[in-house]
Structure 1
């Protein structure tokens, strides 16, 4: 495996945007939160200096969003629709460059990264199509004496706090829904991956969004705390970890600010003896290693029937061994680095503390970047930390079961409830187990990329609220009831 260091530096100089803080229509090239030295995950080398927002810039961005809200809310819905469609088209037209930026900002292999701009555009186009279809209803109450109806209204200023692995597709999903409903947004981009959010802000202005409708603040903990606790924020949409979510809920409670939380997962992948063993085994190994396991929805617990344990595990190991590991800018690479040295150390610490048998991996790869070898740990106890805590890295924990009830119990035996996976050729069992899983998303015999029209969100510690679909739009609309007596006095 070879990482082309010179190519990374040259491409960064060509495609990375000049980072800054978008407040209204002004780009601030310095912030009160200081600076962050961004490091290329594949090379371990410094890549760019990122100005960070502090409380002062949060105040300014929220003020700009509040100033822009009345006009954006009052804009004809078809004009909001058209603005979202223009933004989607701009993202599609620059998908190749944005994909390269996504690879440079967090190490995602280019093959997958180049698909994310299209996902962002899909969400923007979907919500553009709903912008002029947000309708109220007439309530059947005493029709001869009164008229009662509802008005769907936007909240106002929405704080969009996204994690580093979501990139521009997460902004398309979150901000697209909020903007279509008539809200304005302040995006807090994580300092680990600020570049695609900056591009989103640049293209929003180019698409004709009025100043202040979209504001973008790369920032760290200081900016995040200031934003979610701000009295001028009317709703919070957050993707990230459980500890940050707890702090957000405490801050939001001060102003009773409603929150949407899309958090972590520890998703079980149940394989029954009647499954297609070749397909299920390959899926078990490869699906949890996508983006080096850095995804909340990954099937990170393999829950396999004891009678087929050896067959499935051997197939999973074979699939992992066949994954090309290398430079994420190489289109042939399927497995790249994790996002930072700190993240790599955390992953390996969790693996070293595990009681199971390490079948493969469990170590750093000898590269300049932050590569953790794909890891499989067998015979994990259901209550072990590796079976309970989100690793957010290329680690698969293997558990076994003997009957359907035990499989369901194991799948539900974590505080998370984001996703579940079931492999079986028995249609009745597939639907029965899907209904029994405590998860917001269940995939049968595969891993499908959810369309923009599908809702996504978890149960338990995986959060609450939905993103995507009509349910995702509803998160940013509140309902007012109007009662009109027909005999006015």
Structure 2
């Protein structure tokens, strides 16, 4: 990504392919005036979108889904160009995303339609119900590592809930966002329910946060998330935050070590390690540590990063991320960690070769901070209790994984992990299950996308109570009678006191 300006045009955002620096496209940067106009257009379209109802929105979202599916190869090529990931990985991103769009559009009515709730004996004369209404206009700020799958987790569910969207993609991936917008305009022409604004965080992103959207969904670093929240607080704008992770894998002594090693490579090295909910730390019971490391080394040896479609993964999408990887790895090695695969020499130019570190001090940055590169830390532990303690000893709380043949033990360990999503005997197994909500805690943020909770996240709860008959005791009045109060007190003791427990 570069920003350019000349005497004849406004500032431009130029998207480039990180593999060779070739331009993908360029767009004028949207400043506060353009962002305000986009929100105004979305607010006007929001009333039409809400009036479509669940059935109408489902029809339009299904048409959008079909439009994207028909152009999936083309979209995957654009994602690949902007991120450097192989087109096969980009196509998988499209497949997973459309699974969620399909689920949200079909289930929104069931999840969000008004439903009756019990009124209780004391309010027998009231008919009570709860329903969900759209916020109005939701602003979405997306990341660069999964420029389609991740922001669409908010966009799909917010649209299905009845909101209009203004989407600010990462400055590294504007072409992906513009492709999605064009697909929307083909599927639902004439209605600015979904719009894109382009620019960097300091200009366009800040303008979107300050412009008065009704809710904001942000994905990015925890540090940036805090600044976004502070700006949103000026208007009390509610936010959903996905702030990254430092996900741990636990390998029990009874695990299938071949499977665990394979998933560790997938979670740690896929997308050049640029995955919030992948694998960065592995805690393996010491009795099988040597065998696991041997299998891991053999699996990693098969990887070959490069620019071709057949390569295992591409370059670092954000060039300066290599500097963070180098700092983390260098500190660990300086403090006695052992590089069983790669090392300092693995970081050269835009590509980072796979690195596996063993016996890393737990207070090293490569253990405590998000490295976001193809680096795995493998530390043996005495037992699973120590593994859980180490996995939880982080400010992050996004995802985790457990490998054991004892599924009952796996489920019990999952309950003990401080993470928003846990998989047993897989990594990222939840990503393709639309009914499962996704989000974190601590530095990983709060709020949820996906599933019924994701639909409710982008909805305002409204409770309604309708009095259907006069009450037996007239208590909601400034002129309560002594008789009614006496009966109310008797009921209190009968319903909630010791007499009521007999």
* TM-score, L = length of structure 1: 0.88
Aligned ranges 1:3-18 → 2 under 5 Å: none
Q: Secondary structure at the match of 1:341?
A: coil
Question: Does 2:183 match 1:203?
Answer: yes
Would you say the 8 A contact 1:265–1:297 is kept in 2?
Answer: yes
Q: Mark the CA change 1:322 to 1:380 in structure 2 (over 3 Å): closer, same or farther.
A: same
**Which segment drifts farther, 45-54 or 413-422?**
45-54
Q: Name the stretch that deviates more: 76-85 or 347-356.
A: 347-356
After TM superposition, where is structure 1 displaced by more than 6 Å over at least 4 residues in a row? 364-367
**Does 2:60 correspond to 1:105?**
no
SS of the aligned residue for 1:185 comes to strand
Q: 1:247 aligns with which of 209, 227, 249?
A: 227
Residue 31 of structure 1 and its aligned partner are, at CA, apart by 9.1
How many residues are matched? 455
**C-alpha displacement of 1:316:** 1.0
Q: After the TM superposition, which residues 49-448 of structure 1 pair with which residues of structure 2 at under 5 Å, given as runs?
A: 49-133=26-110, 134-141=112-119, 145-208=125-188, 210-221=190-201, 222-231=203-212, 233-328=213-308, 330=309, 332-354=310-332, 355=335, 356-363=337-344, 370-447=350-427, 448=429
Q: Which runs of no fewer than 5 residues in structure 2 stay unpaired?
A: 1-7, 471-502
Q: Determine which of 19, 36, 39 is the counterpart of 2:16.
A: 39
Give the Cα separation in 2 of the matches to 1:364 and 1:77: 55
Partner deviation per Cα, 1:250-304 (whole Å, 9 max, x = no partner): 0111111111111211111111111112222233234310010000011110111
CA distance in 2, matches of 1:477, 1:416: 27
| 1:91–1:118 CA contact under 8 A, matched in 2 | no
Distance (Å, rounded) in 2 between the aligned partners of 1:312 and 1:103: 33
Q: Structure 2 vs 1, CA of residues 207 and 402 (structure 1 numbering), >3 Å: closer, same or farther? A: same
User: Aligned partners of 2:23 and 2:325: how far apart in 1?
Assistant: 22
How far apart are the structure 2 equivalents of 1:107 and 1:228?
Answer: 29
Q: Mark the CA change 1:286 to 1:185 in structure 2 (over 3 Å): closer, same or farther.
A: closer
Which whole-Å CA distance do the structure 2 matches of 1:287 and 1:54 have between them? 37
Q: Secondary structure at the residue paired with 1:175?
A: helix
Contact 2:165–2:193, Cα closer than 8 Å, also in 1: yes
Question: Residue 122 and residue 209 in structure 1: after superposition, are their counterparts in 2 closer, same or farther (change >3 A)?
Answer: farther
How far is the alpha carbon of 1:209 from its aligned partner?
Answer: 5.3
Kindly state the Cα deviation for residue 70 of structure 1 after the two structures are TM-superposed. Answer: 1.5
Distance in 2 between the 1:101 and 1:61 partners? 24
Q: Is the 8 A contact 1:171 1:197 kept in 2?
A: no
Give the aligned CA root-mean-square deviation in angstroms.
Answer: 2.1
Distance 1:76 1:403, change over 3 A: closer
Counterpart of 1:452 (choices 429, 434, 441) is 434
What secondary structure sits across from 1:325 in the alignment? coil
Inter-CA distance 255–31: structure 2 relative to 1 (3 Å threshold): farther
Shift of 1:445: 1.3
Q: Does 1:473 align with 2:455?
A: yes
Cα distance in 2 between the residues matched to 1:194 and 1:362: 34
CA deviation map 1:222-273 (0-9, x unaligned): 1111111222x11111111101100111011111111111121111111111
Closer/same/farther in 2, CA of residues 254 and 202 from structure 1, 3 Å limit = same
Given that 1:31 and 1:52 are in contact with CA atoms closer than 8 Å, whether structure 2 keeps it comes out as: no
Task: State the SS of the aligned residue for 2:433.
Answer: coil
Alpha-carbon distance in 1 for matches of 2:403, 2:109: 40
Cα distance in 2 for partners of 1:404, 1:478 equals: 42
C-alpha distance 461-69 of structure 1, shift in aligned 2 (>3 A)? same
Q: What is the alpha-carbon distance in structure 1 between the residues aligned to residue 30 and residue 329 of structure 2?
A: 35
Distance in 1, Cα, partners of 2:173 & 2:42: 23
The one of 461, 474, 477 aligned to 2:443: 461
Which structure has the greater CA radius of gyration? 2
Structure number having the greater helix percentage: 2
